[in-house]
Structure 1
Amino acid sequence: MNVVYHELLPDSYLLILAPGRTDEPEVALAHWLSCAEHSGKPAVWVDCGMLSSLSDEAIGLIWASHYHLQQNHAQLVLVHVPDRVKQELLKRGLEPAPCIVPTLLDAARQSHWHDPHIEA
């Protein structure tokens, strides 16, 4: 898995993922998820639109990040998630699942809905 783009936004941290070599560990994904978790932002948006599947390691990292963010009162929002990737993610984790939305605009709306300091 490759992280092809990352950006610290005013109210979130955005990661855009792309397929990588299947025989390599998910070092880049682990690094950038950790950076996002420690950014202090109330939301981490992960764009999965370029993916067709996820490795078991990537799924574990995404779930671990989701739980870590929840403990810190932040939210993981997955965006542009293809059906196959969504099925792979949801069959491995426990409830509650990370938020999955169709667009970045929906991610922004979801993040603002959870932020008590922002009026809807």
Structure 2
Amino acid sequence: MHVIYHELLPESYLLILAPGRPGQPESVLARWLRRARRSGKTSVWVDCGMLDSLSTEAARLLWDTHFQLQEQHAQLVLVHVPERVKRELLEQELGPASCIVPTLLDAARQAHWHDWSMEA
């Protein structure tokens, strides 16, 4: 899996993923997820719109990031997730699911809701 774009936004960290070569280790994805997690942002957005499928290792990395962010009172938001990728992710389900939204605008709304609910 490749990270083709990343940006530190005012309230979140955005990663846009693209397919890598089959069987290739997910070390690039792991590195970028770690960087996003350490950014201090309350929300990490991962755009999956260019993906056709998700490796078992990539699914596990996303789940691990989801739980690590929860411990930091932050959230992982998956955006533009194709149905096949969603199924592959849920097949590896390790607990309560991360937030999955259809658009980046919905991710922004989710981030505002999450920030507001943490203050209440």
| Aligned pairs for 1:22-41 within 5 A | 22-41=22-41
Q: Which residue of 2 aligns with 1:46?
A: 46
User: Which aligned runs of 4 or more in structure 1 are off by greater than 3 angstroms?
Assistant: none
Structure 2: gaps spanning 5 or more residues = none
Residues 90, 118 of structure 1: alpha-carbon distance in 2 compared, 3 angstrom cutoff: closer
Structure 2 residue 85 is the aligned partner of structure 1 residue 85: yes
Q: Which residue of 2 aligns with 1:16?
A: 16
Computed over aligned residues only, the root mean square deviation of the Cα atoms, in angstroms, reads 1.5
Give the counterpart letter for 1:106 in structure 2.
D
Q: Which residue of 2 aligns with 1:59?
A: 59
Alpha-carbon separation, structure 2, partners of 1:118 and 1:48: 26
Alpha-carbon separation, structure 2, partners of 1:30 and 1:105: 25
Q: Which residue of 2 aligns with 1:104?
A: 104
Q: Which residue of 2 aligns with 1:70?
A: 70
8 Å contact from structure 1 (residues 13, 36) kept in 2: yes
Give the aligned length.
119
Structure 1: gaps spanning 5 or more residues = none
- In percent, how many aligned pairs have the same letter? 69
Which TM-score applies when normalising by structure 2?
Answer: 0.95
3-state SS, counterpart of residue 14 of structure 2: strand
Give the counterpart letter for 2:11 in structure 1.
D
Between 92-101 and 13-22, the greater mean CA deviation after superposition: 92-101
Give the counterpart letter for 2:95 in structure 1.
E
3-state SS, counterpart of residue 116 of structure 1: helix
3-state SS, counterpart of residue 67 of structure 1: helix
Alpha-carbon separation, structure 1, partners of 2:117 and 2:110: 14
Which TM-score applies when normalising by structure 1?
Answer: 0.95
8 Å contact from structure 1 (residues 112, 118) kept in 2: no
Give the counterpart letter for 1:56 in structure 2.
T
Give the counterpart letter for 2:41 in structure 1.
K
3-state SS, counterpart of residue 116 of structure 2: coil
